[in-house]
Structure 1
Amino acid sequence: MVKTLGSLLLFLTFLSAGNIIATVDSREVIQGDSVLLTLSITGKNINTVPQINEIGGYPVFNTQRRSATNFVHTNGVSRMEKTQIFIMEFRPDINMTIPSFSVKLDDQIESSNPIEISVLKSATGMKRETKDFSLDISVDKEKFYLGESIILNLRFKQRNNIDVMQIDYTPPAFKDFFSKQIGEGKTYQKGDFTIQELNYLLIAKKSGVLTLEPARAKIAKRARQRQRDWFVDVPEWSQISSKALSVEVVEPNQAHDIVGKYRLMDKVDVLKVKANKPVTLKVELLGVGSLDDYDGINFEIPNVTMYSDDAKVESKLLGKSLQSRYQKNFVFIADHNFTIPSKMIRAYDYETGKVNVLKTKTYKIEVEGSPKLATQAIVHSNTPVANVGTSTKNTLKWYENFPSILALALAFVLGVVSTLVVKYLPKIPLPKYKRKGKSFKYDEALKVLYPKMTQSKEVEEMVRKLYAVKRGDKEVKIDKEVLKVLVEKYREGAE
């Protein structure tokens, strides 16, 4: 639990002998919660200060120290008093006693009183509040579908004109939910109280009956305490919590990709493009529901280079409904005509219990200057072709065929050698500069330069060349020095 320890500074005004006072934020804590122990040491001369690393056997994991100096005037005599304040945080797991701590003040040993701490078992779900402070949580739905989002509303109520020194707030433990705070909240006055509200978006990770743990807060308000005929400022701690909530999560019985009500919009920037120029497809989902965990659609088109940016998801609360917008761009580059196929998104409507199928449009992209597919010329003829091999009688002697036999033998030997070379050549280590390819560097360059295509014609031309090389176009030449300068320029700009 995150603590805000730096906001607490006590000013003690003792006019008597030195002393040490121990206080805690609460004498009763829920198992898992921490205890804040404050030691206030006051005296003319603070001779020794205890070094405290553990309390009752539990390690101290947060410590803060504050100092103050006061001038005291009594019966016409003035003197200086020093105050040192130690704030320590530890986490007990069973009932325990904070021991007495001793210090040497004004050449005398002073000791604090021991404090009993009760550790309660894990939260029972009961609400705890005081007449000045309270916490409440509520959800807009107690039964909903897996993948459907709900809104949890948290309200902190504080009585007006209360001098609050510190508030340590712990939100509910959303251990079975994806959670996201919506906005910055709001504050308003109602009667004798100031109310602060926060909203959280929740999406269940699993189905079944789930528990939303309570929200908790420790609050220190300023109080006056009498010590040896004098009054000092001390924190008066109180601990409050909301009740726990149970919700039922139902799993849809039909296959789906997203949950909610949406409309799908898509468009391409051009239908006719020059070779190796980009075509951009924009896809947008807009509707009621959550799209934070939607994986999106993908395209795989043979012999077409495709690149996509990261999806942009925006959510805002409209009344008690969550409106979400999902936007993603896809870029296609090719040197021939191609088709961007339709893609399907299945949206489960939890109000009707039906699955609505949303589809993107199919786009046929015409690429100017596309290479024509070459076809082998076939000669058709009605004239019979004579089989010369069978019509000629072999009258050659064996020694006249010797050159042919020798050629056949040589061909067999060369075949065996070639097979051995192919088999064992990959095992021969080659110099690194011969084995290292260009694709890795060019891929890295594409990652840096592609998002910057619209900023410079030079960058656009380089990206076009890089894609051409990736496709195996050997006629395209890339100036490595120019590429290096561009990558370094735009990589530094991104950083």
Structure 2
Amino acid sequence: MNLYFKFFILIVFTSFLYGNVVVKSSDNFVLNENYVFEIEADGTDVEFPKIDKIDNYIVSNLGTSRTMTSINGNVVNKIKKTYAIKPTKEFTLPSFEIKVDGKTFKTKEKVVKEVIPSKTKSKNFDFKISLNKSSLYTGEDAILNMKFKYKKDLQISDLGFNMPVFNDIWSKKIDDKNKSYEENGFIVQELNFLISPQKAGHLRIDPIKIEAKVIDENAFTYSLFSQAAKLEKIYSNSLNLDVKPLPKGVNLVGDFSIKTSVSKNEINAGDSLSYKVEIDGIGNLDDMEDIKLNIKDATIFEDKAKIQTKIVKDKYTGSYKKSFSIIANKDFEIPQIQLKYFDKKTKKVVVKNSQSYKIKVKNVKKQKSFIGLEKAQPEKQVEVVKEKIVYKTSLNKMILSFILGVFLTIIVFAIYFYVKSKKNSKQKDDLPLIKLVKKSKNENEMMKILLPYIGYNKNLDEMIFKLEKDKSIDLKSIKNEIIKILKTLNL
């Protein structure tokens, strides 16, 4: 009886080994982190399902491990597959079918919920984040300090830190504020970020994670090349921000100044002048709306605005610069530019206006030809006096001479008209304006040559505007088109 009982136990135990399927997974996941789960099966012939997606999340196969053990002379395989997904909300880990030695096993479904990790409490580590300001307005900048500490005698083989993702908060790493030092038996490392909330209301900075690989001196595993290490996740505290809205119609907060300038106050009709705008100050210049000009009956070209920023004494400073080129045929006015921002010190909206400019445009009579351009003068006809010599000849010779004379006359006229057409074509090519266009090396040189002639011809105007707007245009091609137009003009 005792023998039968032992045999029964052996059969049950062997079946358990051959047919055991386990899913190792957590009930929770952390936002912006991989959720890892494992499927483990014991048997000689194991067939795993193909898992590509779970609740529309792409599944990554992290690898397969296999171990073999011998029980009572039977070799048993233990096969483990590891998977990972990156969920953004609560999801369901479905039931999987695994075939082991011809038998099908089904795992149970599991609902996985999001969890926000709490600050790690450890005698070996400490991770804290803090802000240099207690209250913020939309668009206002602040310094976020990250302070990570670990024991000096702790053997760490690697530290992993992923750049944090801030929801509705603009951020920029401050490189010159990073530092490392010792303090009370700990190694301290500090990182600093410049942040700026992009909307009002209650915002949250979730705990930030650092992963540390710590050498485990008590581990029994041994590697030929390195000691065993265990991975520890260290989380910081979280921060809650109560962001106040800016007054309506204002998106800048700080302290700024504006200045403008013009290259001249009086121009000739068709000439251009340069208008420049510069804004400097402390605050969120990145959020400033681009400045545009609207002047009636004027052609306006503009450069792309240049915004330069830097951090000076924990303050975000910068400048905005933009240039315009204005062409007009009658008097016009460059209007004021209004700069509005919120001054946190006075808690008031400050409005600053730039200077306006009245530009005088002088009308210049349209010249029939350009300076230095002269029409080709017809060649002077030189009268040649030939001595007539009369020879007496027969009638046949006279007829032959007449025919030869007519033939030679036709040839002479053909040569004359051919040379004349070539000469006229060459004269067109030798016009000073065409010569200047041919010699121009880039778009800027060609623009300087052609700008005074805006308004002479519609086709020429289109080529000039096309040249100004499209910087990637083929210079040789547009140069040939412009030369063809100039040859048709009676300038």
For residue 457 of structure 1, what is the amino acid of its counterpart?
E
Relative to structure 1, the CA distance from residue 484 to residue 364 in structure 2 (aligned partners, 3 Å threshold; closer, same or farther) is: closer
Map 1:143-158 → 2, pairs under 5 A: 143-158=135-150
List alignment gaps of at least 5 residues for structure 1.
1-21, 69-82, 373-451
Please tell me whether the aligned partners of residues 278 and 333 of structure 1 are also in contact (alpha carbons under 8 angstroms).
yes
Q: Which secondary structure state, in structure 2, belongs to the residue aligned with residue 292 of structure 1?
A: helix
Corresponding residue to 1:302 among 286, 296, 303? 296
Distance 1:356-1:51 versus aligned 2 partners, 3 A rule: same
Structure 2 residue 208 is the aligned partner of structure 1 residue 216: yes
Q: Cα gap change, 1:263/1:134 in structure 2, threshold over 3 Å: closer, same or farther?
A: same
Q: Give the TM-score normalised by the residue count of structure 2.
A: 0.57
Q: 1:345 to 1:93 in 2, by over 3 A?
A: closer
Residues 93 and 484 from structure 1, CA distance in 2 versus in 1: closer, same or farther, beyond 3 angstroms?
closer
1:61 is matched with which residue: 55, 58, 64? 58
Deviates more, 1:342-351 or 1:453-462: 453-462
Q: Cα–Cα, structure 1 residues 39 and 225, in superposed 2: closer, same or farther, change >3 Å?
A: farther
Say if 1:277 and 1:183 are closer, same or farther in 2 by CA, change over 3 A: farther
- Paired residues of 2:141 and 2:194 also in contact (CA < 8 A): no
Q: Secondary structure at the match of 1:456?
A: helix
Show the counterpart of 1:169.
162
CA RMSD of aligned residues (A): 5.4
1:461: which partner in 2?
A: 449
How far the C-alpha of 1:366 sits from its partner, in A, is 3.3
Write the mapping of 1:84-163 to structure 2, written as runs, cut at 5 A. Answer: 88-89=84-85, 91=87, 121-123=114-116, 126-159=118-151, 161-163=155-157
Q: Following the alignment from structure 1 to structure 2, what is the Cα–Cα distance between the partners of residues 235 and 24?
A: 22
Structure 1 segment 19-98 matched on structure 2, within 5 A: 29-30=29-30, 33-37=33-37, 50=48, 52-53=50-51, 61-63=58-60, 88-89=84-85, 91=87
**2:281 aligned with 1:293, yes or no?**
no
Aligned to 1:423: none
CA change 1:139–1:461 in 2 (3 A) is same
Structure 1 residues 344 and 142: CA distance shift in structure 2, 3 A: same
Change (3 A) 1:463 1:204: same
Q: Is the 8 A contact 2:251 2:287 kept in 1?
A: no
Amino acid at match of 1:35: Y
**Contact 2:46 2:98 (C-alpha < 8 Å) held by counterparts:** no
The answer to whether the 8 A contact 1:220-1:235 is kept is no
SS of residue in 2 equivalent to 1:53: coil
Change (3 A) 1:38 1:181: farther
Alpha-carbon spacing, 1:128–1:489, altered in 2? closer, same or farther (3 Å): closer
Q: How many angstroms does 1:299 deviate by?
A: 2.5
User: 1:432-479 CA deviation, whole Å, 9 max, x = no partner?
Assistant: xxxxxxxxxxxxxxxxxxxx99853213334665xx3xxxx3546529
CA distance in 2, matches of 1:189, 1:243: 22
The answer on whether the counterparts of 1:146 and 1:250 sit within 8 Å (CA) in structure 2 is yes
SS in 1 for 2:162: strand
Q: 1:491 maps to which residue? A: 473
The one-letter code matched in structure 2 to 1:63 is S
Distance in 1, Cα, partners of 2:89 & 2:468: 60
Residue 129 of structure 2 aligns to a residue whose secondary structure is strand
Report which structure shows greater RCO (CA 8 Å, sep ≥6): 1
Sequence identity percentage: 19
CA 325–90 in structure 1, closer or farther in 2 if over 3 Å, else same:
closer
Cα distance in 2, alignment partners of residues 273 and 148 from structure 1: 43
Alpha-carbon distance in structure 2 between the residues aligned to 1:182 and 1:149: 13
Cα distance change, pair 26–461 in 1 and its aligned pair in 2 (3 A): farther
| Corresponding letter in the other structure for 2:166 | A
Shift of 1:167: 2.8
After superposition, the Cα gap between the structure-2 partners of 1:62 and 1:190, relative to the gap in structure 1 and judged at 3 Å, is farther
Secondary structure of the 2:260 match is strand
- 1:364 is aligned with what amino acid? K
Per-residue CA deviation, residues 80-112 of structure 1 (Å, 9 max, x unaligned), is: xxx9985633549669999999899xxx99xxx
Q: Secondary structure at the match of 2:237?
A: coil
Q: What is the distance in 2 between the residues matched to 1:134 and 1:157?
A: 5
**1:113-141 Cα shifts (integer Å, max 9, x gaps):** x9999966543x84235444443322222
Letter in structure 2 aligned against 1:34? N
Q: 1:266 aligns with which of 254, 260, 263?
A: 260
Q: What is the CA–CA distance in structure 1 between the aligned matches of 2:322 and 2:277, rounded to whole Å?
A: 5
> How many Å separate the matches in 2 of 1:39 and 1:492?
61
Q: CA contact under 8 A between 2:52 and 2:59: conserved in structure 1?
A: no
**C-alpha offsets along residues 168-225 of structure 1, whole Å, 9 cap, x if unaligned?**
63625323x3x0314446242333325140303213412x4x1323133262526569
Higher helix content, 1 or 2: 2
Give the structure 2 partner of residue 444 of structure 1. none
| Alignment-derived partner of residue 182 in structure 2 | 190
| Alpha-carbon shift at residue 279 of structure 1 (Å) | 1.8
TM-score where L is the length of structure 1: 0.56
- 1:331 aligned partner: 325
Would you say the 8 A contact 2:145–2:192 is kept in 1?
Answer: yes
- Secondary structure, in 3 states, of the residue corresponding to 1:301? coil
The alpha-carbon distance between structure 1 residues 320 and 289, as it changes in their structure 2 partners (threshold 3 A), is same
CA deviation map 1:392-437 (0-9, x unaligned): xxxxxxxxxxxxxxxxxxxxxxxxxxxxxxxxxxxxxxxxxxxxxx
Question: How far is 1:67 from its partner?
Answer: 9.5
One-letter amino acid of the structure 2 residue matched with residue 316 of structure 1: K
Change (3 A) 1:223 1:487: same
Q: Please report how far the alpha carbon of residue 157 of structure 1 lies from its aligned counterpart in structure 2 after TM superposition.
A: 4.1
| Alpha carbons of structure 1 residues 147 and 131: separation in structure 2 relative to 1, 3 Å | same
1:316 and 2:314 correspond: no
**Residue 241, structure 1, aligned to residue 229, structure 2:** no
Decide whether the 8 Å contact of 1:27 with 1:116 is kept in 2: no
Q: Is the 1:204–1:249 Cα contact (8 Å) retained in structure 2? A: no
Q: Which residue of 2 aligns with 1:396?
A: none
For residues 137-184 of structure 1, the C-alpha deviation after alignment (integer angstroms, 9 at most, x for no partner) is 2222222333433333334445563112x7363625323x3x031444
Amino acid at match of 1:169: N
Greater radius of gyration (CA): 2
